[in-house]
């Protein structure tokens, strides 16, 4: 796992995902985020790959940044180009994806549990709270 810290973009997969978001045409960036959410929620109860989870967490951070109480994404590993105003409907999709990331069987969850550091999970729960509390 090419991870160097607990933030949504503090891993190789999320940094690469940011490039995909930047490369999406204006007006299509929300679709890239939605796809990341649905790839995670579409796994149902099957084993969830860490890379899919990392992309969903990064996407959720981008959506949460536009919500009241959300933190701006300021890391150099996040997207460089403006996203525009994201549809409010992405919030519920992000919440569902984060719920799945934090539920077994989830490789990313297992990796962080093995590390013994609960800070990552707290950060994901905080993102979820911002997204769930935002009104469309």
In a domain, 57, yes or no: yes
Encoded tokens for 42: 């579409």
Encoded tokens for 102: 């934090």
pLDDT of residue 135: 56
pLDDT of residue 121: 96
In a domain, 4, yes or no: no
What CA–CA distance (Å, rounded) separates 88 from 68? Answer: 12
Number of domains the chain contains: 1
What CA–CA distance (Å, rounded) separates 21 from 2? Answer: 20
- pLDDT per residue, tens digit, the chain (136 aa), is 478 899 999 999 999 999 999 999 999 999 999 999 999 999 999 999 999 999 999 999 999 999 999 999 999 999 999 999 999 999 999 999 999 999 999 999 999 999 998 999 999 999 999 999 965 5
User: How many residues make up the chain in this entry?
Assistant: 136
In a domain, 19, yes or no: yes
Q: Which pTM does this prediction carry?
A: 0.95
In a domain, 102, yes or no: yes
> Do 124 and 57 contact (CB within 8 A), yes or no?
yes
Encoded tokens for 15: 């940094």
pLDDT of residue 114: 94
In a domain, 2, yes or no: no
Residue-range definition of the domain harbouring residue 55: 12-133
pLDDT of residue 2: 77
Q: Distance between terminal CA atoms of the chain?
A: 35
């Amino acid at each position: 796992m090419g991870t160097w810290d607990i933030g949504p973009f503090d891993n190789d997969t999320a940094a690469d995902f940011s490039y995909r978001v930047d490369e999406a045409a204006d007006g299509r960036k929300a679709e890239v985020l939605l796809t990341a959410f649905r790839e995670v929620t579409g796994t149902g109860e099957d084993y969830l790959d860490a890379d899919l989870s990392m992309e969903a967490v990064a996407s959720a951070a981008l959506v949460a940044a536009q919500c009241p109480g959300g933190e701006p994404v300021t890391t150099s590993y996040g997207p460089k180009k403006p996203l525009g105003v994201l549809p409010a409907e992405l919030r519920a999709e992000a919440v569902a994806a984060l719920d799945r990331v934090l539920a077994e069987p989830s490789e990313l969850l297992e990796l962080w549990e093995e590390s013994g550091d609960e800070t990552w999970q707290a950060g994901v729960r905080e993102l979820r709270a911002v997204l769930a509390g935002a009104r469309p």
